[in-house]
């Protein structure tokens, strides 16, 4: 069995950021334990993409948890509200968008902490990003540090002197820098899904997540390998 410090739970959505984060964890010598949430999101295609990424990276295990957050609602990703399209960067950074899912990262990280205790991992890798985070409060360093403190106090591992560490290696990177890291790590970008409101098997090309992704690839000088329903702009 590998030392405890070499085991890491990776919150794996099937998206670009979580896939680059997983590749970084692998480069750092971690044995990867993928954790994916099927939470009733309208872009449920990302769960299948997470499976494909897990296979490509050769993870030790991949746990998919069904947790229907549609019962709580409050988000365009889990309810009938319209996903915003073609918003400029100034608007994206001004307010918390309707695609914010109440408590999502708090819930996901809590489940990741529980899974880490069970599999003997001391690390949780989380693809949060504060520069391109579209106004989400649960992607900020203050949130991550507060969660670490809570887990230290509220878990058996923490009380026995083995606190879980949450690593967010993309936290202060631009999307272009994240993509450049992914290129260096041979990340299978063609398997990733970022879109909030897909059109069949294609990304819409207009939601905040698509716009940020497309701008990132453009600034990185790299061709995005996925298909978009709308290809104008960016």
Task: Indicate the SS3 state at residue 44.
Answer: coil
φ, ψ of residue 220 in degrees (nearest 5) = -80, -10
pLDDT tens digits for range 14-35:
999 999 999 999 999 999 999 9
Task: Indicate the SS3 state at residue 78.
Answer: coil
Model's pTM, two decimal places? 0.93
**Chain mean pLDDT for the chain:** 92
Query: What Rg value do the Cα atoms of the chain yield, rounded?
Result: 17
| Whole-Å CA distances, 185 to 134, 143, 192 | 25, 28, 15
For residues 228 and 224, give the distance between their C-alpha atoms in angstroms, rounded to a whole number. 10
Residue in 75, 77, 27, 36 with CA at minimum distance from that of residue 54: 36
For the segment 167-192, the average pLDDT, to the nearest whole number, is: 97
Q: Which domains does the chain have, with CATH numbers?
A: 4-194 (3.40.50.620)
For the segment 225-231, the average pLDDT, to the nearest whole number, is: 90
pLDDT of amino acid 185? 98
82 pLDDT higher than 70: yes
pLDDT of amino acid 136? 80
Instruction: Considering only residues 2 and 91, tell me which one the structure prediction assigns the higher pLDDT.
Output: 91
pLDDT tens digits for range 190-207:
999 999 999 988 999 999
pLDDT of amino acid 138? 87
Token readout for 38 is 């099927």
180 pLDDT higher than 60: yes
In the numeric block, the tokens 């899974």 are attached to: 115
pLDDT tens digits for range 95-104:
788 898 999 9
Instruction: Considering only residues 135 and 212, tell me which one the structure prediction assigns the higher pLDDT.
Output: 212
pLDDT of amino acid 232? 64
Residue 92 pLDDT class (50, 70, 90 cuts): confident
108 pLDDT higher than 70: yes
pLDDT of amino acid 44? 86
For the segment 129-148, the average pLDDT, to the nearest whole number, is: 84
């Amino acid at each position: 069995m590998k030392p405890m410090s070499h085991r890491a739970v990776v919150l794996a959505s099937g998206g670009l950021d979580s896939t680059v984060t997983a590749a970084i964890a692998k480069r750092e010598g971690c044995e990867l334990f993928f954790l994916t949430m099927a939470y009733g999101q309208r872009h449920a295609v990302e769960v299948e993409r997470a499976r494909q990424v897990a296979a490509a990276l050769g993870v030790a295990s991949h746990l998919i948890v069904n947790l229907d957050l549609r019962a709580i609602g409050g988000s365009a990703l889990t309810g009938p509200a319209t996903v915003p399209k073609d918003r400029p960067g100034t608007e994206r950074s001004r307010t918390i968008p309707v695609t914010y899912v109440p408590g999502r990262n708090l819930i996901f990280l809590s489940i990741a902490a529980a899974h880490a205790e069970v599999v003997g991992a001391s690390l949780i890798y989380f693809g949060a990003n504060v520069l391109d985070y579209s106004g989400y409060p649960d992607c900020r360093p203050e949130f991550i540090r507060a969660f670490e403190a809570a887990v230290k106090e509220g878990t058996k591992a923490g009380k026995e002197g083995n606190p879980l560490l949450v690593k967010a290696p993309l936290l202060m990177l631009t999307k272009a820098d994240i993509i450049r890291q992914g290129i260096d790590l041979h990340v299978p970008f063609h398997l990733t899904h970022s879109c909030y409101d897909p059109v069949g098997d294609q990304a819409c090309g207009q939601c905040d997540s698509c716009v940020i992704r497309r701008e990132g690839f453009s600034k990185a000088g790299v061709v995005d390998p996925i298909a978009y329903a709308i290809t104008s702009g960016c």
